Structure 1
Amino acid sequence: MFPIIICEDNKIQLEQLTTIVKNYVLFHNEDFQLALSASKPSTCLEYLSKEHPSNGIYLLDIDLNADMNGIELASKIRVSDVQAKLVFITTHDEMAPITLKYKLEALGFISKDQPIEKIRDELIENLILASARSIAVSQAKQQNFSFAISSQIYNLPLNELLFIEPSDIPHRLKIHTKTGEYEFYGKLGEVNKRYPQLFRSAKSALINVDNITQYDGPRKLISFENALTCKCSITKVKELKHRMKIER
């Protein structure tokens, strides 16, 4: 289910957007949830801090008449919810290029300077597109991990993989899974390119963040089930914590 968050300082326009979203969610309640309808960016930030949403759809005005505008709010949202789908609903179409500077990857811009029926249609189009892209990412995470041992090809569910590390045998890699271990010829860098959803926690470790059971900060030690562990490079700690927060 994808949470929808609205931030619009104009009371009338906020009510209009909220009504459009409520009516749409009414017939798509298995896919969407109106999580927040707010007039202040501070309310949105409080929601992010408390609820830690993921794959949220954010409908933001740019001029919020507050200590931060919609683009600055979107920047903070992007840090907290890396898979956020950002849709700006504004009279300031000229601000679109600025989102490139902030690397916000906005899903869309909807102009307020048009009939409410047109705004509704464009908003619904963006909701459909946002959910389709999020579902595609989710399905990609469920793909198989393929490798060859001699002439035999193995396909393991990616969510079964714990981590990969170099074998004691030169030019070979060892895969640790929930049910066993395998070794095959390969390079971590090449595997990482094929499966970017895996995380390079250290020069000698490629891990599935979803399957981490514990992270020991002082020892920089990542734990998995079956009492398996691997190290995290000090330069990767910040990104690891961010990825763990996102995935969970």
Structure 2
Amino acid sequence: MDYHLLVCDDDRTQAKNIATLLKMSLIILEEQDIHPTIDLIATDAESVLDYLEFNSDLNNIIAFLDIQLDENSSSKGGLDLAQKIKTLNEKAQIIFITTHEELAFLTFQRRINPLDYITKTTNQRDLQRRLTETLELAIRKLNEFNYIKKNTFSYKVGTRIINVNFSNILYISTTKFPHKLKIVTSNGQGEFSGDIKTIEQNYSMFFKASQSSLINLQNVETINTKKRLIKFSNNDYLKYSRSRAKELNNLYKSSQ
């Protein structure tokens, strides 16, 4: 898995020093078969934002930022930069590195939720140790986030985001109402706005049994090949299309 490190400090010497220390941290992590890369060393917020917008498909971003960047920057400093990074990539890990301890409380006021707040020190050994520990923590956080996302299906009802563990989902099917889907789980069922095609594209863990349904093979109890019926653990039945029969049977057998 790739991890992308970004460093931003308006003092070029400080930015290079942080990058040098991080390179030493990377050597330590290589022994654990973890291979992050330092993608960008910047001295202004605009360079970071331009890089992220140009590389919009990047995942696993870890940003080391000075909390007080050049006041002439249109992004108004490290706090605004952190918020914009989070807007572009919600799971990005933010670490502030600064001499301004008194500004730490602002990160709570702005609800940025940084992973760490590291005070710059002349003791390079202490700073090196702290950077390594924080980098390891950031990687663990990203791994946890990726695991949860991989094993969770999320849908929206009104203003609420509902997260369901994939193992609890039986199937998702269309309803008689356009763009309205039904989700059936081991705990019950619900409805939400969406379409089968989009979910199929975004969640590869589902199997498309027909144009109107996506199923979780883990919760299929039996398959009636003559009637082309799928029976689920809650005794619900769904018809599957003839064109999907061969692949469905093969996948079902391999999952048993």
Common fold, TM-score beyond 0.5? yes
Q: Measure how far apart 1:228 and its partner are.
A: 4.8
| Equivalence map 1:116-131=2 (5 Å) | 116-131=124-139
Q: Which runs of 5+ in 2 are unaligned?
A: 154-164, 215-256
Secondary structure of 1:22's aligned partner = helix
Partner in structure 2 of residue 22 of structure 1:
23
Matched letter for residue 22 of structure 2: V
1:57 pairs with 2:62: yes
| Equivalence map 1:1-248=2 (5 Å) | 1-28=2-29, 30-52=34-56, 53-65=58-70, 66-67=72-73, 68-143=76-151, 158=166, 164=172, 175=183, 186-188=188-190, 204-205=192-193, 211-213=199-201, 227-228=211-212
With the length of structure 2 as denominator, give the TM-score of the two structures.
0.61
With the length of structure 1 as denominator, give the TM-score of the two structures.
0.63
Provide the rounded CA distance (Å) in 2 between the counterparts of 1:8 and 1:208. 45
Secondary structure of 1:35's aligned partner = strand
Provide the rounded CA distance (Å) in 2 between the counterparts of 1:118 and 1:183. 50
Alpha carbons 1:6, 1:37 under 8 Å: kept: yes
Alpha carbons 1:9, 1:64 under 8 Å: kept: yes
- 1:113-146: CA deviation from partner (whole Å, max 9, x where unpaired): 441211111111110000011111222234489x
Matched letter for residue 42 of structure 2: A
Alpha carbons 1:165, 1:206 under 8 Å: kept: no
Distance 1:123 1:2, change over 3 A: same
Secondary structure of 2:105's aligned partner = helix
Q: Measure how far apart 1:229 and its partner are.
A: 8.7
Matched letter for residue 110 of structure 2: Y
Matched letter for residue 20 of structure 2: T
Alpha carbons 1:99, 1:105 under 8 Å: kept: yes
Q: Aligned Cα RMSD in Å?
A: 3.6
Provide the rounded CA distance (Å) in 2 between the counterparts of 1:93 and 1:121. 19
Secondary structure of 2:29's aligned partner = coil
Alpha carbons 1:165, 1:204 under 8 Å: kept: no
Matched letter for residue 67 of structure 2: I
Provide the rounded CA distance (Å) in 1 between the counterparts of 2:124 and 2:201. 49
Q: Measure how far apart 1:31 and its partner are.
A: 3.3
Report the count of equivalent residues: 186
Provide the rounded CA distance (Å) in 2 between the counterparts of 1:81 and 1:38. 18
Larger Rg: 2
Aligned sequence identity (%): 25
Provide the rounded CA distance (Å) in 2 between the counterparts of 1:162 and 1:208. 15
Distance 1:210 1:55, change over 3 A: farther
